[in-house]
Chain A
Amino acid sequence: MNKNQANEFVFLFRQPALNLSPEGQGELQKKWMDWVGSIAAQGKLASNGIHLAAEGSVLKAGGVVTDGPFVEIREILGGFIVVKADTMDDAITLAHGCPGIDVGGSVEIRTAFA
């Protein structure tokens, strides 16, 4: 992205493991698409980021490997996007309405360094 333009911020999404019906999942998926679409429509999406599967592994000291899914963790890291905004406050405003928040999740907003 152009350096002269607005600053970039990373939105990190965390969300509890949800037990949704296929319809419920579809509905939530649609809300995410509309929400990211809204940011993109404002020309403020720098990257659609990467989306993470709920399953995985964690390596700890001593070669200890634990497998996911991490149901015991209250909020699972689900992925991130990168947005363009002038200030941290503007970035927080953009983060409002994130569908993850409505289902008990959170958005962590961090300044990105080039």
Chain B
Amino acid sequence: MEQHQAALKHLFKQEFTKMVAVISKLYGLQHIEIAEDIVTETFLVATETWEHKGIPLNPAAWLYTVAKQKTLQHFRRNKTYTEKVIPRLNLDQEEHEEMAELNFSYRNIKDSQLQMLFAVCTPLIASEAQIGLALRILCGFGIDEIAEAFLSNKETINKRLFRAKEKLRNERIQLELPPEGEISRRLDNVLHIVYLLFSEGYYSKTQNEILRKDFCIEALRLGLMLTEYDKTNLPKTNALIALMCFHASRFNARQIGEEAPVLYEQQDVTLWDQELIHQGIHFLNLSAQGNEITSYHLEARIAYWHSLKQDTREKWENILQLYNQLLLINYSPMVALNRTYALYKANGQHAALIEAEKLKLEHNHFYYLLLGELYKTIDEAKAKSNYENAKALAKTQTERQGIQKKIDQLG
């Protein structure tokens, strides 16, 4: 029974995004909430009916039929259809009965979903609300699941989603692809949101591992969706997919039960998902075209080198050069610290110490952790004082314990 429930949940989640996209495509994005309601109602009918009669052979087709009826009923009943939708569709009364039927063909589902992806990822919505909207509309997650991931509550998430949808309406966002000349630029925003979705799963603080993995899988699915169209199947799209594959390959190795994330150095290599690493390499090769080098390209190549467990000079030299390049287009304190760590692995403590002292990231506990690590074999007293600084700045108990362990090991 539980398995049965899980299968239904999966089906509904998948079909939710498709049906909302198709209904919104026909009736306009301003009616997206109605589309959501119709789909939810359809699922209710399905659950009740299937409980007695069993699941039909083609459950998706069954859902589409019911959704069609419900949609027509709804819009007729509410006059929205005759007063607002038909004029917009530019059809006369006779024509619309025929034309204005939901089209659940494979092609139309795919097109509508892609257009929805661009609509939700419009730069006009603040990104926090955007991720919520993407999780709901593009991935089909429930409000409760989204709330759990953000360590928030349903009410807050609902409010956020409501504001985001209001924005879609007010800005008159249409379900359509951007003009051809703008696709590459608009795609940047789409890729950014897809990566945020992935990171939300990968780094989320929630303990719910299944949910976190689902986020990552959904982000990958959206990325792959973009590769199905020539105009969005750009090198940077493939670079992002490669990056997500490499990261995802370490998903199982990062978590051991309820413990804190396991650091790269201590990971069990046998837990790395080799299939995902191969996929990563495949997409990394596809990304190596054209003139544009994005941060996804560089991060994916860094992740590729990290997927080789052997510590060679070549590996760290390559990682160092990639971080050098990444800093030129995308500075962040974390990238600066990682670059200095790569310098240490490639050129040794002394060279790295000179560089590390210049960073002066004095509010960052990772900075002092790095300094502690670099001083470890050179000057134990300095190593200790840096670790102490790191401990004072660390944000969680688990981190403080980990740092204390390092201090104890100094002897």
Contact = CB atoms under 8 A, between A and B. Distances in A.
A40 B358 contact: no
Nearest to B333: A43
Interface in A24-53: 30, 33-34, 36-38, 40-43, 45, 48
Contacts of A45: 327-328, 331
Interface in B319-338: 320-321, 323-325, 327-328, 331, 333, 335-336
Contact of A34 (B324, B335, B336, B360): B324
Nearest to A37: B324
25 contacts: A30-B321, A33-B321, A33-B324, A33-B325, A34-B324, A34-B343, A36-B324, A36-B328, A37-B320, A37-B324, A37-B328, A37-B339, A38-B355, A40-B327, A40-B328, A40-B336, A41-B327, A41-B331, A41-B335, A41-B339, A41-B340, A41-B358, A42-B359, A43-B331, A45-B331
Size class of A's contact patch? 10 to 19
B331 A40 contact: yes
Nearest to B338: A41
Contacts, number: 42
A37 to B, nearest CB: 3
Contact of A38 (B321, B358, B360): B358
Contacts of B331: 40-41, 43, 45
Interface residues of B, number: 18
A42 B337 CA distance: 10
A6 B323 CA distance: 24
A41 B321 contact: no
A41 B336 contact: yes
Interface of B: 320-321, 323-325, 327-328, 331, 333, 335-336, 339-340, 343, 355, 358-360
Contacts of B324: 33-34, 36-37, 40
Interface string A90-106: 00000000000000000
Nearest to B329: A48
A65 B355 CA distance: 45
Nearest to A35: B324
Contacts of B327: 37, 40-41, 45
A37 B359 contact: no
Interface string A50-84: 00000000000000000000000000000000000
Contacts of A30: 321
A37 B339 CA distance: 8
Q: Sort A-B residue pairs by CB-CB distance and give the 9 closest, nearest first.
A: A37-B324, A40-B327, A41-B336, A33-B324, A48-B328, A41-B339, A42-B358, A38-B355, A43-B331
A41 B357 CA distance: 11
A42 B354 CA distance: 12
Nearest to A40: B327
Nearest to A33: B324
A34 B344 CA distance: 12
Contact of B355 (A33, A41, A43, A48): A41
A107 to B, nearest CB: 18
Contacts of A36: 324, 328
A43 B334 CA distance: 11
A96 to B, nearest CB: 11
Contacts of B336: 40-43
A48 B293 CA distance: 15
Nearest to A38: B355
A55 B328 CA distance: 26
A49 to B, nearest CB: 10
